Amino acid sequence: MKESTSTFEKKTNRVEKEFTVRAIFWGIIVGLIMMALLIYLGAVAGMDFNVSPVASILGVILIPLIGGPTNKKEINIMQTTASAVALSCTGLAIYYVAAMFLGYEFKWSVIIITLLLANLIGICFVTLLRKQMVEDPSLPFPQSIMCKTAIDNGGNLTGKDAKILFLFIAIGLIIVFMQNILGIIPAMIDFSKYLPEGMVMGVLLMPMMLGMGYILGFKISIILLIGSLVSNLVLGPIGTNLGWYVNPQVDYSGMQNFNIPIMVGMSLFASVIPLIKQRKAILRAFSFNSSNLDEESKVVPVKLMIICMIICILGAIVFYKITYNINPIHMLFFVILGMATALISVRIQAESGLSAALAFSVFQIVIVYSIIREPIVTLLISFMSGAITLLAQNTMMDLKTGYMLGASPKKQVWAQIIGIIPGIIIGTVFFYGLVKTHGLSSNHISYPIGKMYYSIASGLSGEMSNVFDMGRFVIGSIIGLAMSFIGLPAGALAITLYLMPSVVLNLSIGGVIRGFIEKRFGEKRAETYNNAATGLVIGDALVAIVIVVLTMLM
């Protein structure tokens, strides 16, 4: 039994302060730091880190500096604000810089207006679907579990669970430090050279993925492993021998690009049956006349969300018509497409803890270009869609965390909206400074994902089937429908066609460890070690932050 004498618990029992000035203040401060790090990390390496669990721990430490002890709900508001700030404009170093590679200029008004409209659409859209998503038992939301664990146990600094959490934060820190700073421990072990031609397999020694796999659990981790084994040990050599792509042992991106249409088809159509089952509830969520509307309005500002979403959609249509002369019907389709793929990305992340944003971005670029045939504008529309997806994923994850903590969704939504304003403005200033200081062709800052999108957009002027094959998309769609119908997590399985097998194997090891503990000691004992798994994730992310800071200072 947890100690009831901690300051954290006493304060929680007496006063449930939640939406406070200090929570918003620290959320903005922490969010701005993480936003700068995310933009910089994306520009340098095309990577990111999990913001929310780190923000939760920082909330435990920072909030009491002003006004004394805190509680779980206040930390949750701080973390919600911080994650909204951090993710409000990270697409600048990906989509917008790709347009700049094609000759587009840095335009303050375009960036700020696009991001503001897209972020609000993402927040409003998924907030309306809050009940359908956060109460779905088939969606475990692993990132939300990690945030809840950090908030639950971080405040009780003397408790056993908190000691486990901080111990494994230290372990994660030490392992990643020894890998990335000292080079004592390898970051990955590759078995591919021992396998026949076309087969790829390895294990990424990454504490973050190990922790996520543990939280996902044995079943989903093994399903992901099976998908990766089939893709990399069966389809890999078949495709190599048939000349579909270069040997993945030499260039893995060839097989990845080949599989993107299959993955997108599987992911899209895997969501059809769950969405059909929830169609009435979803329609009620967007209806002004539903009896359910009044009930949900007690929890979130439903009418305001619907009105705000409609105004922002109309704003996007008008803005792109005035600025780029995009047909309003086409623009409406692009916005709806962005919202649809955002919803599917949310489901995949909630189901597997992994993001499908990259593959869906390629899909969006292809679809938009097939209609307007202008590479630069295609990237700018995809920039908007990408921002919708990022904020949709972030908002739903935070709402799930709040749901588990008994927090107010309405207050979380306001924290999100408050967070995006300084995030967009200061993030745009930071990105401008980065471009002005290093340009677009620095040896140090290479914008790898931005260059990838630039290459895709440039290549679309040729034969489109070289970028996105419709036949493979149809095959993936059929597979996704079939798997969804029999109850398999097709969206999560689709990710294994794209992710490096080393990532999936690392994740699966975490799931196997959990399965062993559940079988040997019971599910309740296994649940208590979520603290250790969360600690590994936070420790890994903290080292990533330190590395970025040191790189920026050098």
Q: Secondary structure of 378-394 in the HEC alphabet?
A: HHHHHHHHHHHHHHHHH
What's the start-to-end Cα distance of the chain, in Å?
Answer: 48
Query: What is the C-alpha to C-alpha distance for residues 362 and 183, in angstroms, rounded to an integer?
Result: 35
Q: Is the dihedral of CA 156, 157, 160, 163 positive or negative?
A: positive
Q: If DSSP codes are grouped into helix, strand and coil, which group holds residue 47?
A: coil
| Partners of 202 in beta bridges | 190
Token pair belonging to 34? 């993480």
| Partners of 189 in beta bridges | 203
Query: What is the C-alpha to C-alpha distance for residues 48 and 208, in angstroms, rounded to an integer?
Result: 12
Tell me, what's the pLDDT at 271? 67
Buried/exposed 276-306: b ≥16 CB within 10 Å, e otherwise: eebeeebebbbeeebeebeebeebbbbeebb
Tell me 486's DSSP state: T
Residue 188, H or E segment: strand 188-190
Number of Cβ within a 10 Å radius of residue 190? 16
Tell me, what's the pLDDT at 6? 44
Tell me, what's the pLDDT at 464? 52
Tell me, what's the pLDDT at 319? 96
Q: If DSSP codes are grouped into helix, strand and coil, which group holds residue 354?
A: coil
Question: Are the C-beta atoms of 59 and 78 separated by less than 8 Å?
Answer: yes
Tell me, what's the pLDDT at 164? 78
| Partners of 119 in beta bridges | none
Query: What is the C-alpha to C-alpha distance for residues 259 and 104, in angstroms, rounded to an integer?
Result: 30
**Low-confidence residues in the chain, pLDDT < 70:** 1-16, 41, 44-50, 153-159, 161-162, 271-298, 354-356, 358-359, 442-444, 461-468, 491, 541, 544-545, 547-554
- The burial class, CB within 10 Å (0-12 / 13-18 / 19+), for 457 is buried
Tell me, what's the pLDDT at 5? 39
Looking at the chain, how many residues does it have?
554
Residue 277's alpha-carbon distances to 136, 152, 154, 286, 503, in angstroms, are 12, 34, 38, 16, 32
- Region label for 197, one of left (φ > 0), alpha (ψ between -120 and 50) or beta (otherwise): beta
Contacts 24+ apart (CB under 8 A), 175-180: 175/205, 175/207, 175/539, 175/540, 176/206, 176/207, 176/539, 176/540, 176/543, 176/544, 177/543, 179/205, 180/543, 180/547
Question: Are the C-beta atoms of 81 and 23 separated by less than 8 Å?
Answer: yes
Tell me, what's the pLDDT at 283? 63
Query: What is the C-alpha to C-alpha distance for residues 219 and 494, in angstroms, rounded to an integer?
Result: 16
Tell me, what's the pLDDT at 381? 93
Question: Are the C-beta atoms of 387 and 524 separated by less than 8 Å?
Answer: no
Q: If DSSP codes are grouped into helix, strand and coil, which group holds residue 190?
A: strand
Tell me, what's the pLDDT at 3? 38
Residue 323, H or E segment: helix 302-324
Query: What is the C-alpha to C-alpha distance for residues 178 and 350, in angstroms, rounded to an integer?
Result: 31
Query: What is the C-alpha to C-alpha distance for residues 144 and 195, in angstroms, rounded to an integer?
Result: 38
Tell me, what's the pLDDT at 345? 81
Tell me, what's the pLDDT at 547? 66
- Quick one: which of 131, 18, 154 has its CA closest to 73? 18
Question: Are the C-beta atoms of 448 and 101 separated by less than 8 Å?
Answer: no
Helix spans in 129-217 (H): 130-134, 142-154, 160-180, 207-216
Question: Are the C-beta atoms of 383 and 316 separated by less than 8 Å?
Answer: no
Number of Cβ within a 10 Å radius of residue 481? 17
What residue has token string 């200090």?
Answer: 22
Say how far residue 395 (Cα) sits from the centre of its chain: 10
Question: Are the C-beta atoms of 55 and 34 separated by less than 8 Å?
Answer: yes
Query: What is the C-alpha to C-alpha distance for residues 361 and 338, in angstroms, rounded to an integer?
Result: 9
- Quick one: which of 432, 361, 377 has its CA closest to 112? 432
Tell me 67's DSSP state: T
Q: If DSSP codes are grouped into helix, strand and coil, which group holds residue 204?
A: strand
